[in-house]
């Protein structure tokens, strides 16, 4: 039986493509989820997935939970890979051991044939390839889940790199995002899950981030904005965007020659010669972005930094950026000041003001954890203090209490933690706290200086003047409505829906108990009083079926009661 497309949409039934994708997701999660489940139960040693069971690559060492999850995302393709990459930047949700595995999802995608890439370029630019490029290298420099990069030379001789979105990626991502939104909506409706995290908000944030990465115009705008922020920083280079040849699916930018910073780290001689200066430069550049501009490069992967021959650092890949508005920047500064003052009450207040704490019990628990954490780091000198270790401990508290940080705040904390790891690889004695100190002081003076208070006082005075102008008329209108009897008072019970659900469940269980009791007591009575013809033949079957139904109802009643007690 087939269902017409219009009727299928009317009934809310998934399309054939969507059902097929659900099956693919179910297959991958089942295959790799068995490994996750056995690890969670402590039985990972009992099921040797590393022998090649269920299609896993063969090796000697057992697979960890993070590896099973990473392989499942790799099997599911572009959207799942990006989901893993973005999730690795949420230390408030993802534990470090899994985050480390998810970070390995980068640069593991085979390239698309050059013919398909050329076809996309010609479609986007509306002309043959040789009218734009004098030379186009058909062997890609790099390939990722969304696009791949080729070296080229413009007709005027300018050396560029061309980043092209892979064919079919946008359509695949759109379909997967619809499925993700559906799953998030179902998770939000689950009584067991909805109190943990705001799944629908997380899905919306992920969808927005991924759609932004699909749009190469936005990535070019991110590069221009960072270049403007760092215009007075001679130690950093941001490649120029050739807007004439840039579209939503094609990005043409200046080609910069240099050595990846990861290769500098591996070369002991170059690391000794350049490491300290590179660490200081990259740290100061990030602090300037975060504290001075509130807009920062949020993908501090070693492959996204080039060291040029003159010692300057070039930033690459501007698809993932973070932005802190004025209120979130103030919240970050307040949190840093509370940590420096070693004041657990202020730490809890800061988290409460940004909406992290949902219940009064959260506040008390976080205050206790903050006090223990401050005692743990009390007495350490600035040189002994490591930001990464401290942030990891803070995120462990957040995860333990199932709190959810604002996405921008979580991203900046993850970016700083990842960057400090890179800085310490360049210079083992590097201290990020000392580097950040002048930027924090400057930002604090800028946000809490006399001019700011003067501006706020002026704005407050204007609001009070407006209020004084409009308030008498509003009071007069309310009084008139009261006098005419037109004023209505609406009351809303805070937990009315939950109360109704509980009453409905009680009624359902009572009804079930009555039916079960009627079957248990009524069947023997009927058998003893009424004996219709042939009753002796059907009585055993009827009695057995009735008893089974009654037993099933009783078991259902017991199960519902136990489930309610667990909640």
CB-CB contact of 346 with 338 (8 Å):
yes
- Distance CA(154)–CA(252), nearest Å, equals 10
Exposure of 275 by Cβ count < 10 A (0-12 exposed, 13-18 middle, 19+ buried)? buried
Residue 235 in tokens = 């130690």
Catalytic, 299? Answer: yes
- Residue showing tokens 């009071």: 475
Would you give the DSSP letter of residue 303? G
Taking Cα atoms as reference points, which of 540, 538, 548, 541 lies closest to residue 516?
Answer: 548
Half-sphere exposure of 174 (CA within 13 A, CB side): 6
Judging by beta carbons within 10 Å of its beta carbon (0-12, 13-18, 19+), is residue 458 exposed, middle or buried?
exposed
**Angle between helices 65-76 and 16-40 in degrees, nearest 10:** 170
In sequence order, which residues have a C-beta less than 8 Å from that of residue 550 and are 6 or more positions away?
Answer: 516, 519, 520
Q: Which residues contact 61 (CB under 8 A, 6 or more apart)?
A: 50
**What SS3 state is found at 313?**
strand
Q: Are 136 and 149 in contact (CB under 8 A)?
A: no
The CA distance from 411 to 317, in Å, is 16
Measured over the CA atoms of residue 55, residue 58, residue 64 and residue 66, the dihedral's sign is negative
Alpha helices in 288-406 (DSSP H): 326-340, 344-353, 360-377, 387-400
The vertex-78 CA angle with 76 and 83, nearest 5°, equals 85
At 13, is the secondary structure helix, strand, or coil?
A: coil
Identify whether the C-beta of residue 168 lies closer than 8 Å to the C-beta of residue 236: no
Residue 106 CB: number of other CB atoms within 10 A? 17
DSSP secondary structure string, 93-151? TS-HHHHHHHGGGTT-SPPPPHHHHHHHHHHHHTS-GGGTEEEE-SS-SEE-SSEEEEE
Please answer whether residues 433 and 387 qualify as being in contact, where contact means their C-beta atoms are separated by less than 8 angstroms.
yes
Catalytic residue among 204, 232, 292, 299: 299
Helical segments of 14-95, H only: 16-40, 65-76, 78-87
| Residues marked as catalytic | 299
């Amino acid at each position: 039986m087939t269902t017409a497309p219009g009727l299928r949409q009317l009934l809310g039934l998934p399309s054939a493509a969507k059902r097929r994708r659900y099956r693919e997701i179910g297959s991958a999660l089942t295959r790799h989820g068995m490994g996750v489940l056995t690890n969670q139960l402590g039985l990972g040693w009992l099921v040797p997935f590393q022998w090649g069971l269920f299609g896993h690559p063969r090796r000697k060492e057992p697979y960890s939970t993070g590896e099973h999850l990473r392989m499942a995302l790799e099997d599911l393709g572009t959207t799942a890979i990006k989901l893993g990459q973005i999730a690795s930047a949420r230390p408030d949700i993802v534990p470090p051991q899994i985050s480390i595995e998810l970070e390995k999802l980068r640069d593991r995608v085979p390239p698309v044939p050059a013919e398909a890439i050329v076809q996309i370029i010609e479609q986007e630019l509306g002309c043959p390839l040789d009218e734009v490029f004098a030379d186009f290298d058909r062997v890609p420099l790099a390939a990722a889940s969304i696009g791949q990069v080729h070296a080229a030379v413009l007709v005027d001789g300018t050396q560029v790199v061309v980043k092209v979105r892979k064919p079919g990626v946008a359509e695949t991502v759109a379909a997967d995002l619809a499925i993700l939104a559906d799953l998030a909506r179902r998770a939000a409706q689950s009584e067991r899950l909805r109190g943990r995290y705001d799944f629908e908000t997380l899905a919306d944030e992920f969808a927005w981030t991924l759609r932004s990465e699909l749009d190469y115009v936005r990535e070019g705008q991110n590069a221009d904005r960072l270049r403007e922020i760092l215009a007075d920083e001679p130690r950093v280079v941001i490649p120029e965007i050739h807007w004439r040849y840039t579209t939503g699916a094609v990005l043409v930018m200046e080609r910069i020659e240099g050595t990846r910073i990861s290769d500098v780290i591996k070369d002991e001689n170059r690391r000794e010669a350049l490491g300290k200066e590179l660490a200081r430069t990259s740290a100061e550049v990030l602090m300037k972005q975060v504290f001075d501009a509130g807009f920062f490069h949020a993908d501090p992967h070693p492959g996204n930094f080039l060291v040029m021959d003159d010692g300057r650092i070039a930033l690459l890949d501007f698809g993932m950026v973070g932005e802190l508005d004025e209120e979130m920047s103030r919240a970050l500064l307040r949190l840093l000041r509370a940590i420096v003052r070693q004041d657990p009450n202020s730490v809890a207040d800061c988290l409460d003001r940004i909406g992290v704490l949902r219940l009064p019990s959260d506040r008390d628990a976080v205050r206790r954890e903050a006090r223990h954490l401050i005692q743990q780091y009390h007495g350490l000198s600035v040189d002994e203090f490591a930001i990464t270790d401290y942030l990891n401990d803070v995120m462990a508290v957040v995860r333990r209490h199932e709190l959810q940080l604002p996405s921008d705040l979580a991203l900046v904390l993850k970016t700083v933690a990842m960057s400090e790891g890179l800085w310490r690889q360049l210079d083992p004695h590097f201290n990020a706290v000392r580097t950040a100190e002048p930027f924090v002081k400057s930002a604090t003076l800028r946000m809490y200086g006399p001019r700011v208070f003067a501006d706020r006082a002026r704005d407050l005075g204007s609001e009070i003047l407006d209020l004084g102008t409009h308030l008498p008329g509003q009071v007069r209108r309310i009084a008139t409505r009261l006098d005419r009897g037109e004023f209505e008072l609406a009351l809303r019970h805070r937990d009315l829906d939950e109360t109704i659900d509980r009453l409905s469940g009680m009624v359902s269980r009572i009804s079930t108990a009555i039916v079960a009791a009627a079957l248990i007591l009524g069947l023997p009575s009927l058998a003893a009083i009424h004996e219709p013809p042939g009753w002796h033949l059907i009585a055993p079957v009827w009695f057995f079926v009735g008893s089974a139904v009654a037993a099933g109802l009783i078991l259902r009643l017991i199960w519902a009661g136990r489930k309610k007690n667990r909640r």
